[in-house]
């Protein structure tokens, strides 16, 4: 019988080297070796799951709920989720202050933020209902609104975004960003929590969609997969660092449709009711009612007259 001897992998030495690397990074970043208190991705994933269950208890919560116990379930689930969220908000405030504990004012702020967040949840439910309706009405493959809610990645991304946007507006930007990145990881849809998005918003298919921080999207807008609403350029400070917070992403007015693979860059405005074709690269504003394709653009008056120029005319008009 052969006796197996557990091989040595030099783990003690690796642990010591990792400790030194970790402490060195902490010293460089914050001047000491105390690990920062950061919002937890795992906890926030559970928070979003709990909030989704409280918002849609029958479909995203427990299927066995009845009229006698549903309110109790919603209340209990909401209490657990908001209590956990409060701890994550406290962690962010402690991280920003560089302290291991919060002063009374900051503790009060954490409570107030979560209270206002909770009070806004009925409005979040209303907005998500409108997104579900837009998806159901806009996709002939959708069999029911229930199917849309539990299957469509665009709706899961918007549940995260509607919640994260509340926190972003409260200045709890790191926690909001973690929420957004959870949806990004799960769906391939990257929506910055700062983006302002109106009701009845529909992302069809969704994979590869990118929506930047300062984008403003109106009502009843539809995007298809791989659409980018990004920045054209970044202004820099005298020291070479990027200027933060400047409006640099597109504005989409109501009822805009952007087809797959289109890229819209910069602080441009896409007028109401415009249609942007697939794979278009757009860095200028277009008036309401426009139709933009790779060959060029058709303005609203031409559409109203029923005259759509042929490809040759578009190429000449746009110098292509």
Are residue 106 and residue 140 in the same domain, yes or no? yes
Span 4-57, pLDDT tens digits: 777 878 899 999 999 999 888 888 876 666 777 899 999 999 999 999 999 999
- pLDDT of amino acid 75: 97
- Cβ–Cβ contacts within 10 Å for residue 282, how many? 19
CATH of the domain at 116: 1.10.3130.10
- pLDDT of amino acid 26: 80
Are residue 157 and residue 185 in the same domain, yes or no? yes
Q: CA distances (Å), 28 to each of 25, 31, 285, in order?
A: 5, 6, 44
Rounded to whole angstroms, how far apart are CA atoms 134 and 221?
Answer: 9
Count how many domains the chain has.
2
Q: Is residue 95 part of a domain?
A: yes
The torsion defined by the Cα of 88, 92, 97 and 99, in degrees rounded to 10, comes to: 40
* Backbone φ, ψ for residue 11 (5° rounding): -65, -40
Span 259-307, pLDDT tens digits: 999 999 999 999 999 999 999 999 999 999 999 998 666 666 555 565 5
The torsion defined by the Cα of 194, 203, 287 and 273, in degrees rounded to 10, comes to: -130
Are residue 45 and residue 160 in the same domain, yes or no? yes
Q: How confident is the model at residue 238 (pLDDT cuts 50, 70, 90)?
A: confident
Rounded to whole angstroms, how far apart are CA atoms 254 and 265?
Answer: 18
- For the chain, give the mean pLDDT: 90
User: What is the DSSP annotation of 202-259?
Assistant: EESS-TT-EE-TT-EE-SS-EE-TT-EEE-S---B-TTSPBPPS---S-EE-TT-EE-
Q: Is residue 198 part of a domain?
A: no
Q: Is residue 73 part of a domain?
A: yes
- In terms of residue numbers, what domain contains 292? 208-320
Q: Is residue 80 part of a domain?
A: yes
Rounded to whole angstroms, how far apart are CA atoms 80 and 1?
Answer: 55
User: What is the DSSP annotation of 24-90?
Assistant: HHHHHHHSSSPPP----HHHHHHHHHHHHHHHSIIIII-TT--TTTHHHHHHHHHHHHHHHHHHHHH
Are residue 131 and residue 225 in the same domain, yes or no? no
Contact 92, 172 (CB under 8 A): yes
Q: For tokens 């759509």, name the residue.
A: 308
- pLDDT of amino acid 320: 35
Are residue 183 and residue 61 in the same domain, yes or no? yes
User: What is the DSSP annotation of 289-315?
Assistant: T-EEETTEEE-HHHHHTT----HHHHH
């Amino acid at each position: 019988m052969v006796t197996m001897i557990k091989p040595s992998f030099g783990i003690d030495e690796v642990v010591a080297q990792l400790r030194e690397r970790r402490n060195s990074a902490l010293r460089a970043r914050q001047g000491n070796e105390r690990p920062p208190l950061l919002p937890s991705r795992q906890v926030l994933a559970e928070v979003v799951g709990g909030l989704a269950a409280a918002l849609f208890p029958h479909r995203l919560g427990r299927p066995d709920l009845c009229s006698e116990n549903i309110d109790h379930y919603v209340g209990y689930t909401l209490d657990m989720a908001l209590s956990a969220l409060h701890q994550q908000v406290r962690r962010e405030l402690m991280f920003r202050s560089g302290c291991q504990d919060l002063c009374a004012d900051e503790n009060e702020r954490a409570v107030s933020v979560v209270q206002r967040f909770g009070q806004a949840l009925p409005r979040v439910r209303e907005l998500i209902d409108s997104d579900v309706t837009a998806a159901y009405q806009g996709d002939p493959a959708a069999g029911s609104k229930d199917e849309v809610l539990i299957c469509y990645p665009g709706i899961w991304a918007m549940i995260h975004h509607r919640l994260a946007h509340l926190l972003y507006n409260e200045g709890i930007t790191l926690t909001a960003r973690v929420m957004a990145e959870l949806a990004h990881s799960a769906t391939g849809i990257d929506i910055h929590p700062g983006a302002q998005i109106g009701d009845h918003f529909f992302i069809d298919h969704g994979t590869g969609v990118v929506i930047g921080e300062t984008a403003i999207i109106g009502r009843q807008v539809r995007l298809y997969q791989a659409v980018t609403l990004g920045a054209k350029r970044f202004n820099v400070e005298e020291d070479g660092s990027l200027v933060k917070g400047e409006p640099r992403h597109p504005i989409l007015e109501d009822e805009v449709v952007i087809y797959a693979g289109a890229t819209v860059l910069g602080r441009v405005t896409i007028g109401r009711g415009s249609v942007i074709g697939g794979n278009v690269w757009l860095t200028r504003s277009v008036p309401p009612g426009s139709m933009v394709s790779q060959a060029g653009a058709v303005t609203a008056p031409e559409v109203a007259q029923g005259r759509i120029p042929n490809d040759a005319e578009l190429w000449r008009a746009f110098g292509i």
